[in-house]
Structure 1
Amino acid sequence: MTETEPQYCIGCGAQIQTTDPKQPGYTPAAALKQDTDETELYCQRCFRLRHYNEISDVKLTDDDFLKLLTQIGDADALIVNVVDIFDFSGSLIPGLHRFVGDNPVLLVGNKVDVLPTSVKRSKVKQWLRQQAHQAGLRPVDVCLTSAKSGYALDELLAAIDHYRDGKDVYVVGVTNVGKSTLINKIIKQANGTQDLITTSRFPGTTLDQIQIPLADGQQLIDTPGIIHREQMAYYLGPKDLKLVTPQKPIKPKTFQLNAEQTLFLAGLARFDYVSGPRRSFTVYLDNNLLVHRTKLANATDFYARQAGKLLQPPRAKELADFPELVRFQFTSKQKSDLVFAGLGWITVPAGAVICGWAPKGVAVSTRPALI
């Protein structure tokens, strides 16, 4: 490899280098000499992640990601914004409408297959469009898909081809929305190549732009996931990440609560019904997470005794590094969702005074009910 012929990791997009193991693109020189197929060159980080599910930190700041994102405003392209339907509020890129310039935006709701099967897809699309408008984004269209199963992939590809009008395509999203997994599906459908781009549950897997040639000579460009530190994923160990990332359709759990009762969402979050008549509250979480009911008066002491024990995750050995739970109080004026970013939500009736507790740094918010 010479300075005039840079090589890039096909898994994360980082430029290959052999000098600093802590920087993106590091590959031992000996391993580089053994790799004769330059089209499938992976850095050490991607190699370990793909083969051993090990992740290593690299020094990439929020500013680094934002600098890469601002480049799309100068391009003449279609912007495909991938969001996680299960974590919509936590997967919005703050201020995206200011970055895209005059480029059209196609909003893609990924992970539609984890919603309860009773939910109508047409209503989900309408809800996504409304939420996008509230965030200042005006998508030309909304598509639903599943990067995992390939649901409605043909429809998505047809929409991309229609709206790009012969231009490049930039795929953007925050970390963990399934963006690179979706692109792998597209690549496989186009030419049969499987799992070219490195994917994982770990935030920040893609480190630089990855360009995939299209049939007409334009490019499909996978951009690094924008870091959204208000998501639960940043406060969990590798073994617990899979417990907050649903892989199967969610089975809602409905609880009849009296005032001054509490629900613990494992040891990760807490919901208090402060005041109001006996009402129904529906919880939407990964099916494997424990929901435990107790009295509000005993809740703080119960958490202190049971966090890392009955209330897992977090696991006992990770409890020392887990942030304290912070309280947010709301009064629902209409049927609403109380959302814990990157974890799930609880649908609450109108007129209820409620509190959501989440690890310090994780966003808690309300929105019009999705379901």
Structure 2
Amino acid sequence: MSETDIIVDGQVVHCVGCGAKVQTVNKSELGYTPKSALEKGLQNGEVYCQRCFRLRHYNEIAPVSLSDDDFLKLLTSISATDSLILYVVDIFDVNGSMISGLHRFVGDNPVILVGNKLDVLPKSLKKRKVRDWLRQQANAAGIRPIDVELISAKTNYDVDHLLDQIEKYRNGKDVYVVGVTNVGKSTLINGIIRQSTGIKELITTSRFPGTTLDRIDIPLDDGHSLVDTPGIIQPEQMAHHLVGKELNLVTPQKTIKPKGYQLNPAQTLFFAGVARFDYVTGDDREGFTVYAENNLYLHRTKLENADSFYADHLGGLLNPPSEERKADFPALERHEFKTTQKSDVVLEGLGWVTVPAGVVVAGWAPKGVAVLLRPAMI
């Protein structure tokens, strides 16, 4: 214990939102809360640090000083346990959700792969295909899940079924919930708590990455725990190149409505200023379908003008990023594909474009953000 720790009944007080130790001394350090807020929280039985309070009430994120090493140290301790791992990924950003070398952190413990944010996918998309895609991507990353489940933590879709599967595989063990930032882990656990206890929004949730700063233990009926762990920061996520309102403009909030385009070769579609799709060669007036946030600005132009158009309009017409942030936004990187069947060009964290067979296309995304080709899901 440190001199700044708050002790009540012999126990260090932690923020119920992010798990950080509560302190009233240093405003710039984790867990800070004013003394008046601490006293009120102790009376109510729920103490929140100032960071979580402002996040919950004003949707404002504050920078954190916890290092990547601290995050990894917390996760690596799981490998020494005998537990069940709930590995949550964002269906809309599978590659950005993958933790390289997951088993270095969780050891030989069995893993249930949970695909979250099913609510934003079109209704016509077959869940079987989504499960198969998730398993293939996990296997490619060296992960062999014992089960693959699809849920929406936001709408509580199939969370009951997930709970049944957890009990099926748990065998009296603790359950650790792991994943990268911004995949909805804490939202999922909030849903589980709400169903079990009726308490709403116990764990701080946000669309901003990096909310849970320490492990949070939720007691289960048999004396074991459901443990929410901090998210690993994945630089390859689209979300890490955007801030504030920009995230709302590119991250799907509701079920995606497909947008159809008849394109000729040498035409380009801009996804605001964050990505780009080129139809390079193929037949005239081919049909392409875009699946992305319904309010995301899409702009069609000629391929020969695309580079100069992007340079002239980034931060203006092509927003996000904003004018103020365009200088810091990473350059878009090109990925070319030749299709042999109807396929999806996936712009991870943003959406995908369904393209016909026998064409050459290119997807552009911020450097490090994956652009993939897969058989068409729809």
TM-score range normalised by the length of the shorter chain: over 0.9
SS at match of 2:227: strand
1:271 to partner: Cα distance: 1.2
Counterpart for residue 356 of structure 1:
363
1:36 matches 2:42: yes
Deviations 1:116-150 (Å, cap 9, x if unpaired)?
11122233223322222222211111111111111
* 1:259-270 correspondence to structure 2 within 5 Å: 259-270=265-276
CA distance in structure 2 between the partners assigned to 1:61 and 1:332 by the alignment: 42
CA distance in structure 2 between the partners assigned to 1:285 and 1:370 by the alignment: 14
1:53 matches 2:28: no
1:17 matches 2:50: no
Cα 1:38–1:63 shift into 2, 3 Å: farther
1:331 matches 2:338: yes
Counterpart for residue 142 of structure 1:
148
Counterpart for residue 107 of structure 1:
113
Cα 1:289–1:211 shift into 2, 3 Å: same
1:44 to partner: Cα distance: 0.9
* 1:1-371 correspondence to structure 2 within 5 Å: 1-2=6-7, 5-37=11-43, 39-278=45-284, 279-371=286-378
Cα 1:353–1:62 shift into 2, 3 Å: farther
* 8 A Cα contact 2:84 2:176, kept in partner: yes
1:70 to partner: Cα distance: 1.1
1:195 to partner: Cα distance: 0.5
Counterpart for residue 3 of structure 2:
none
1:90 to partner: Cα distance: 1.4
The alignment of Structure 1 onto Structure 2 pairs a total of residues equal to 371
CA distance in structure 1 between the partners assigned to 2:140 and 2:287 by the alignment: 28
Give the TM-score of the pair, scaled to structure 1. Answer: 0.94
1:316 to partner: Cα distance: 2.6
CA distance in structure 1 between the partners assigned to 2:29 and 2:172 by the alignment: 36
CA distance in structure 2 between the partners assigned to 1:109 and 1:159 by the alignment: 14
1:333 to partner: Cα distance: 4.7
Give % identity. 64
CA distance in structure 1 between the partners assigned to 2:354 and 2:177 by the alignment: 31
SS at match of 1:155: helix
* 8 A Cα contact 1:10 1:39, kept in partner: no
Give the TM-score of the pair, scaled to structure 2. Answer: 0.92
1:38 to partner: Cα distance: 7.2
* 8 A Cα contact 2:187 2:205, kept in partner: yes
Letter in 2 for 1:172: V
CA distance in structure 2 between the partners assigned to 1:359 and 1:131 by the alignment: 21
Letter in 2 for 1:98: R
CA distance in structure 2 between the partners assigned to 1:370 and 1:175 by the alignment: 26
Structure 1 runs of 4+ aligned residues shifted over 4 Å read: none
CA distance in structure 2 between the partners assigned to 1:188 and 1:21 by the alignment: 31
Gaps of 5+ in 2: 1-5
CA distance in structure 1 between the partners assigned to 2:7 and 2:160 by the alignment: 41
SS at match of 1:366: strand
Cα 1:363–1:21 shift into 2, 3 Å: farther
Cα 1:91–1:181 shift into 2, 3 Å: same
Cα 1:99–1:254 shift into 2, 3 Å: same
Cα 1:336–1:62 shift into 2, 3 Å: farther
1:66 to partner: Cα distance: 1.5
Cα 1:134–1:370 shift into 2, 3 Å: farther
CA distance in structure 2 between the partners assigned to 1:126 and 1:356 by the alignment: 23
* 8 A Cα contact 2:126 2:377, kept in partner: no
Using the TM superposition, name which of 232-241 and 293-302 deviates more.
Answer: 232-241
Deviations 1:280-335 (Å, cap 9, x if unpaired)?
32211101112111110011111122222222222333323322323233334544
SS at match of 1:316: coil
